[in-house]
Amino acid sequence: MLLDASTLALVAAVAIVAAIVGGIGGFGTGIILTAALAPLIGVKQVIPVLAVAGAIINAGRYWFYRASLERRTLALVLVCSLPFLVLGTWIYSVLDARAVGTVLGLVVIASVPLRRALNRRKIALGRAGLAAGSTVFGLASGLTSGVGVIMVSLLLGTGMTGQAVLATDSLVSVALDLCKAALFQRFALLDQQSAITGVVIGVATIPGSALAAWLVNRMHAHLHVLFLEALILLGGASLLWNSWR
């Protein structure tokens, strides 16, 4: 569905904030937008709309960090994740709205302790570990949004840091989002109005990505504050409430 002008302007403002958060930490944009959009367009339409928006969001983010791209890592992640993305997207297409909302809500809530646990462990991954983790990431990406924490943590586990993580994660996300958008259109979950909504949201995030890139050059690349985690938890609870009420 296409949002009215005032609602779309509000969502665009949220998208700018989400892009700043995601641009600094490498994840969080999809989680915030999922929570904001679900009550407005319905949980079943959230992931198709964000597939379109995500391609633009991550393309803008990649542009600011493109010089730091790790091409061999990018190729490995895409080869391993794309087949499982197709499987996850098919599963999503056959789920009903309540099941989708429950999956989204639980993933959003789980992202907070998951990020903390992965950051504490700092497990060193080889190429085989990255390949195995990428299959999980691909499946999760087809089922829901806001799973960027998985890829960021995997890349950090290989020893990558800073802008190399942000550049590689962004281009991985562009490829997966474009694939998801094509699959959702194939499964009749992405119509023209939903695509337009996704484009508007994506374009609105570009200023936020630019500001995030400016901030990254002046602070730690993985700045995560307590208020953001509280926002994520509230968003996940909201998704569950809207799915089951």
Q: What is the pTM of this model?
A: 0.74
Number of neighbours of residue 85 by Cβ within 10 angstroms: 24
The per-residue pLDDT for 175 is 94
The whole-number average pLDDT for the span 89-106 is 79
Distance of alpha carbon 187 from alpha carbon 189, whole angstroms:
6
The whole-number average pLDDT for the span 15-26 is 75
Q: Is the pLDDT reported for residue 173 higher than 60? A: yes
pLDDT band of residue 15 (cuts 50, 70, 90) is confident
Structure tokens at 181: 């958008």
Which ranges constitute the DSSP H helices of the chain?
5-25, 29-41, 43-65, 71-94, 97-121, 127-143, 148-157, 162-186, 192-204, 206-216, 226-244
Tell me the domain boundaries of the chain: 5-244
Please indicate whether residue 80 or residue 15 has the higher confidence score (pLDDT): 80
